[in-house]
Amino acid sequence: MTTHIRNFCIIAHIDHGKSTLADRLLEQTGTVSNRELKTQMLDDLDLERQRGITIKARAVVMKFKRGGQNYELNLIDTPGHVDFQYEVSRSLACCEGALLLVDAFQGVEAQTVANAFAAMEHDLKIVPVINKIDLDYARPDEVAEEMMNSLGTDPDECIRVSAKTGQGVEALIDAIIEHVPAPTGDPSAVLQAMVFDSNYDDYRGAITYVRIMQGTVRKGQKIRFLRAGANHEIVELGQFAPARQPCEELHAGQVGYLICNIKSLGDVHIGDTVSIPGDAAAKPLPGYSRPKRMVYCGLFPSDGQNFSDLREALERLAINDPSFEFEPETSDALGFGFRCGFLGLLHMEIVQQRLENESDIDLVQTAPNVTYEIVNKRGETLMIHKPQDVPDPGDIEEFRQPIVRCNVIVPGEFIGAVMKLCQERRGIQKSQEYLGAQRAMLTYDIPLAEVVYDLHDKIKSCTRGYGTLDYEMVGYEPADLCRLDILVNGKRVDALSVVCNRADADRRGRAVAKRLKQEIERHMFEVAVQAAIGSRVIARETVPAMRKNVTAKCYGGDITRKRKLLQKQKEGKKRMKAIGNVEISQKAFMAVLSDSEND
């Protein structure tokens, strides 16, 4: 029964043609008619279509007849960007094979190598595919050699296709059926299924995506989510083709969805195991390792009112994307909001845009920062997710920053420029190897804080768009770091605090103080804008007071009259400064936050 099922995913670097190849496979197998077919068929989020990138992994079943046999091909389309690596790892756990897609012109890129090794760790059968062979400047033979040098694939086994024109796609389907092993699993055993994704429907509740490992599941059956410890009755089940297509049962090896009218968001966990209620339930599957959140920032409703709306929107989004986390926090400057953890800067941007588009919430976002480790004088190790939590300098024994190993693949002529850039970011070179005559892979250990802001953009700039970056966490190392505070009128503005290297603190402090001086509106008293490390002020700018000519009515006469009026004005300003509050507008906050990101 399972011998005619093939479960596979497509893995590749960003923009190498995964979604286009998925369109051709849907067309070739007759899953979608020509009338219904549109480009990037599986990218159904508005944001995916606007940006032209895949953000969420999508599953689809394709029925195909070959040699008189009916085959069921389950494809899981995955994202290519490094920030969505967690989506890829979840897809790999549900498959027996992977199509490793490489652009016939760009060749092996950083994310290609990372994804290939991830597939090897999951013991998947890798089918190498060279895409875009229809391009005039394609170089499939050189790319096949690059794949052999860096990934150990056989050049003769590489299947050459054009996802745009459909050339070679039929041969690719034959290769999937021949090379990808059929799933193992006994349809008559006790039910054991893995939850690999889910999303929330306002009318149907949580829709759970599952891969059946053992046993059979039927409509109307009672099931149990082992991790959540909750029992539910299946109201509907089916497969994606690519829209939801209900059926009566799913058996071992198949991929599909379950709807149980689950309204409580805490009952669905990605990586959970579905089995039967009672003592005869199957053992829980290993699930997924928890994703490491690397970048944190605060999200606040812009008007300070819709706090409960923001909480509901975040809870709904967390069902669909479990790789970000959030907890409530309060800011003196911005009011009530949430501290959110993300896998990277693009992930942060996508979550913010999805909240704004899908839930219609206007957000203010604080400057992003990475997680640090601090050992205090008492020997305790603290994880610091926001600069405000950094203790006083006198209580810090050791300040550690996260280090990532960056693999940068660049054409030979740009090696010098990339080396200079990595050294400016305090990188330590680990290795350099050539993938072919023209391309090299440089490996550097760089502090994560130096990577997340704009290293990717800078590499693209200095290599004219040909350089690619992939990074993975190595660990924490001691560094000379400090917390830089911004004080306005003697009061600390918590939303503008940052952790930075001590050598950069003066430059960054001056830049923020200058920017704030331009943005803060003038008051009736002068306002001091200061940057400080602990109690030591390192930069200061002064917003001058509005001036009123109180002596204008004195036409001549004794000088003591003018002095008396000026003294009275001086005392009034002093009293006003002591009790007055400085209003920092939302526009000023946004200007300074965006500026400190680019700094």
Number of Cβ atoms within 10 Å of the Cβ of 439: 23
Question: What are the φ and ψ backbone dihedral angles of 396, each rounded to 5 degrees?
Answer: -100, 120
Task: Give span(s): CATH 2.40.30.10, the chain.
Answer: 192-275
What integer pLDDT is reported at residue 597 of this predicted model?
46
Please indicate if the annotation marks 16 as binding a ligand.
yes
pLDDT (0 to 100) of residue 39:
59
Domain with CATH 3.30.70.240 in the chain: 373-478
Mean pLDDT of 302-323: 75
Q: Six-digit token pair at 98?
A: 């992977």
Contact, 339 vs 295, CB < 8 A?
A: no
What is the pLDDT confidence band of residue 427, given thresholds at 50, 70 and 90? confident
Q: Which of 41-50, 230-239, 309-318, 361-370 has the lowest mean pLDDT?
A: 41-50
pLDDT in tens, 174-186: 888 888 888 887 7
Q: What is the rounded (10 degree) CA torsion for 109, 115, 120, 123?
A: -150
Give the single-character DSSP code of 14: T
Pick the closest to residue 415 from 367, 479, 459, 385 (CA basis): 459
pLDDT in tens, 208-253: 888 888 888 888 888 888 877 778 888 888 888 777 888 888 888 8
HEC sequence for 348-379: HHHHHHHHHHHHCCCEEECCCEECEEEEECCC
pLDDT at 551 over 80: no
pLDDT the model gives residue 25 = 82
In the chain, the percentage of residues whose pLDDT exceeds 70 is: 83
pLDDT value at 416 more than 80: yes
Q: In the chain, where does the domain assigned CATH 3.40.50.300 lie?
A: 5-179
Q: For residues 48 and 474, what is the distance between their CA atoms, to the nearest angstrom? A: 31
Q: Where in the chain is the domain with CATH 3.30.70.2570?
A: 483-598
pLDDT at 599: 47
Whether 329 contacts 387, CB under 8 Å: no
381 is in an annotated binding site: no
CA 512, CA 530: separation in Å to the nearest integer? 9
Structure tokens at 562: 């003018």
Return the SS3 of 51: helix
Dist CA 437 CA 423 (whole Å): 25
Q: Lowest mean pLDDT: which of 413-422, 539-548, 583-592? A: 583-592
pLDDT reported for residue 132: 85
Share of the chain above pLDDT 90, in %: 0
Q: Which residue has the higher pLDDT, 55 or 284?
A: 284
Q: Of 143, 180, 147, 167, nearest to 64 (Cα)?
A: 180
For residue 85, pLDDT over 70 is answered with no
| Mean pLDDT calculated for residue range 408-418 | 85
The better pLDDT of the pair 400, 573 is held by 400
Q: What CATH number matches the domain at 192-275, 2.40.30.10, 2.60.40.10, 1.10.1740.10, 3.10.580.10?
A: 2.40.30.10
- The residues, any chain, with a CB within 8 Å of residue 474's CB and separated by 6 or more, are 403, 404, 405, 445
CATH class of 483-598: alpha beta
- Max mean pLDDT among 234-243, 329-338, 454-463 falls in 234-243
Average pLDDT, the chain: 78
Q: How confident is the model at residue 42 (pLDDT cuts 50, 70, 90)?
A: low
pLDDT in tens, 470-489: 777 788 888 888 888 888 87
133 is in an annotated binding site: yes
Angle made by CA atoms 54, 244, 174, in degrees to the nearest 5: 65
Instruction: Please give the CATH architecture assigned to the domain spanning 373-478.
Output: 2-Layer Sandwich (3.30)
pLDDT (average), residues 532-555: 77
Sheet holding 125-131, edge to edge: 58-66, 69-77, 5-12, 97-103, 125-131, 159-160
| Average of per-residue pLDDT across 293-316 | 77
- Give the range among 55-69, 184-198, 284-298, 576-590 with minimum mean pLDDT: 576-590
Q: Is 134 annotated as a binding residue?
A: yes
Flag the least confident range among 146-155, 315-324, 586-595.
586-595
pLDDT computed for residue 57 by the predictor: 61
* Mean per-residue pLDDT, 378-389: 80
Confidence at 576, pLDDT banded by 50, 70, 90: low
267 is known to lie in a ligand binding site: no
The boundaries of every CATH 3.30.70.870 domain in the chain are 295-367
Is 321 among the annotated ligand-binding positions? no
pLDDT digits (tens, 9 = 90+) for 334-377: 778 888 888 777 778 778 888 887 777 777 777 777 888 888 88
Domain 295-367 has CATH 3.40.50.800: no
Q: Does position 276 have pLDDT exceeding 70, yes or no?
A: yes
125 appears as a binding residue in the annotation:
no
Task: Give me the mean pLDDT over the 279-293 stretch.
Answer: 70
Closest CA to 451 of 475, 421, 431: 421
Q: Is 156 annotated as a binding residue?
A: no
CA distances from 441 to 25, 486, 509 (A): 33, 41, 36
Task: Report the topology of domain 5-179.
Answer: Rossmann fold (3.40.50)
Higher local confidence (pLDDT), 250 or 292: 250
State yes or no: 19 annotated in a binding site. yes
